[in-house]
């Protein structure tokens, strides 16, 4: 329905959009003009925040957005005699919320404790409810989206513009649609900066050198890897429900090598410099995107008071 990248509704629709796309520089890498960012000594990403995050919903806010968006749809659908599934809002420190953070596995795995338990696997959502099944009739889908199933024109059953999905979106975003997909609207600059900075950092010699140091560390432990983002992808165990001992050993080594070479800290500092440069070049657009984010955050807080636990029953 509404793409996650538009307004971060991943939790509601159980589809986390982690792809970073778009490009302010049309795919070319330019040396950053901003001052270098001090390089933190970072074994993991705890406590680190990229500059662009200032203009984005936080991970807990993103989860709350998804929850109230789904709850708003449910309230609207019930007016037309249909139900709509709404999952439980995950707690702020839970795995589902952590995965919504910008830096979650952005530079590969970095969490030593998770690596010791889960290897390259995503930690299980212990205690979390399963995503609600979306099994709607044709008529219910028409009300949900405000579009006739036969493709015809005209309003559907007097439903709101854009269906119940549109009504719920406006309650959060306001009357001016917020579109964070690359290339669309002021908020699109946030996605573009986030995507371009990552690609630029990958092409930066400082990061390339740090990755080579990490690869040398891995080789010293018997692993032939050159890409920290795909170190576990070829292991058979990663396609199993849980890790085996070999996967855990490699994951633990991977994290240790990132720490000993400070790959995470270097990568973060380099990418932050690219983001600072882009933010300075697009100040007006970035500021408007930040104000749109503030509207979203305020509306999410308000709607959380309306859609409490009873929305999940």
Segment 239-296, tens digit of pLDDT: 898 999 999 999 999 999 999 999 999 999 999 999 999 999 999 999 999 999 999 9
Number of compact structural domains in the chain: 1
156 has a pLDDT exceeding 60 = yes
Is 273 within the bounds of a domain?
Answer: yes
Locus of tokens 């950092």 = 201
Is 24 within the bounds of a domain?
Answer: no
pLDDT-derived band at 184 (thresholds 50, 70, 90) equals very low
Indicate the range of 78-82, 150-154, 196-200, 247-251 predicted with least confidence.
Answer: 150-154
203 has a pLDDT exceeding 90 = yes
137 has a pLDDT exceeding 60 = yes
Is 96 within the bounds of a domain?
Answer: yes
pLDDT-derived band at 177 (thresholds 50, 70, 90) equals low
Give the angle 127-128-131 at the CA atoms, nearest 5°: 150
Is 178 within the bounds of a domain?
Answer: yes
**pLDDT score at 179:** 47
220-247 average pLDDT score: 93
Indicate the range of 17-31, 58-72, 99-113 predicted with least confidence.
Answer: 17-31
Is 35 within the bounds of a domain?
Answer: no
Q: How far is CA 25 from CA 124, 142, 153, 190, in A?
A: 38, 40, 40, 14
CB 289 within 8 A of CB 190: yes
Is 14 within the bounds of a domain?
Answer: no
The residue segments making up the domain with residue 57 are: 51-312
First to last CA, the chain: 23
Is 275 within the bounds of a domain?
Answer: yes
Compute the mean pLDDT over every residue in the chain, rounded to the nearest whole number. Answer: 84
Q: Give the pTM.
A: 0.81
145 has a pLDDT exceeding 50 = yes
Is 223 within the bounds of a domain?
Answer: yes
CB 126 within 8 A of CB 61: no
216-227 average pLDDT score: 97
- What is the distance between the alpha carbons of residues 149 and 167, in angstroms, rounded to a whole number? 19
């Amino acid at each position: 329905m509404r793409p996650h990248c538009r307004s971060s509704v991943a939790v509601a629709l159980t589809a986390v959009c982690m792809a970073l796309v778009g490009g302010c520089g049309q795919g070319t890498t330019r040396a950053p003009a901003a001052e270098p960012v001090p390089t933190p000594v970072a074994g993991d990403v705890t406590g680190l925040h990229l500059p662009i995050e200032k203009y984005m919903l936080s991970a807990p806010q993103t989860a709350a957005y998804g929850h109230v968006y789904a709850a708003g749809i449910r309230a609207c659908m019930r007016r037309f005699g249909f139900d709509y599934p709404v999952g439980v809002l995950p707690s702020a420190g839970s795995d589902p919320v952590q995965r919504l953070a910008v830096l979650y596995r952005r530079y590969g795995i970095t969490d030593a404790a998770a690596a010791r338990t889960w290897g390259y696997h995503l930690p299980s959502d212990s205690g979390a409810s399963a995503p609600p099944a979306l099994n709607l009739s044709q008529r219910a889908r028409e009300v949900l989206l405000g579009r006739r199933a036969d493709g015809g024109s005209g309003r559907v059953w007097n439903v709101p513009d854009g269906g119940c999905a549109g009504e719920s979106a406006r309650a959060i975003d306001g009357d001016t649609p917020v579109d964070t997909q690359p290339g669309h609207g002021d908020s699109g600059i946030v996605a573009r900066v986030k995507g371009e900075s990552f690609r630029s950092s990958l092409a930066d010699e400082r990061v390339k050198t740090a990755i080579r140091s990490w690869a040398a560390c891995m080789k010293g432990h018997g692993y032939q890897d050159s890409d920290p983002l795909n170190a576990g992808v070829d292991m058979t165990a990663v396609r199993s429900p849980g890790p085996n001992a070999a996967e855990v050993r490699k994951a633990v080594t991977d994290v240790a090598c990132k720490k000993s070479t400070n790959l995470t800290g270097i990568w973060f500092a380099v990418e932050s410099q690219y983001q600072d440069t882009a933010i300075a070049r697009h100040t007006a657009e970035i500021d408007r995107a930040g104000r749109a984010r503030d509207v979203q955050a305020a509306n999410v807080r308000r709607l959380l008071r309306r859609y409490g636990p009873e929305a999940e029953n």
